Amino acid sequence: MATIQISEETKQSLELSKRDDETLDELLTRLMTVEEPINVGAWSKAEADRARESIERSRESFEQE
């Protein structure tokens, strides 16, 4: 485990951005995860499911703000 220094303002902002069941470490990992871009067009079931999940995560993120 490592320790990083952040301002109190940054910590408060991170706390507001995280999900209820999420640790700060999990939040930072989620924010750092680079997902493959979704190509518009005919999607396979797996691609459509991934798009739905991405939209849901985005909505949850906005609801928390």
Neighbours of 20 (CB within 10 A): 6
Q: How many whole angstroms separate alpha carbon 56 and alpha carbon 44? A: 18
pLDDT in tens, 8-62: 999 999 999 999 999 999 999 988 887 777 666 778 888 889 888 988 888 887 7
- pLDDT at res. 40: 67
Residue 64 reports pLDDT greater than 80: no
- pLDDT at res. 39: 67
- Look up the pTM and report it: 0.51
CB 16 within 8 A of CB 64: yes
Give, for 45, the enclosing helix (H) or strand (E): helix 45-64
> What residue spans define the domains of the chain?
41-65
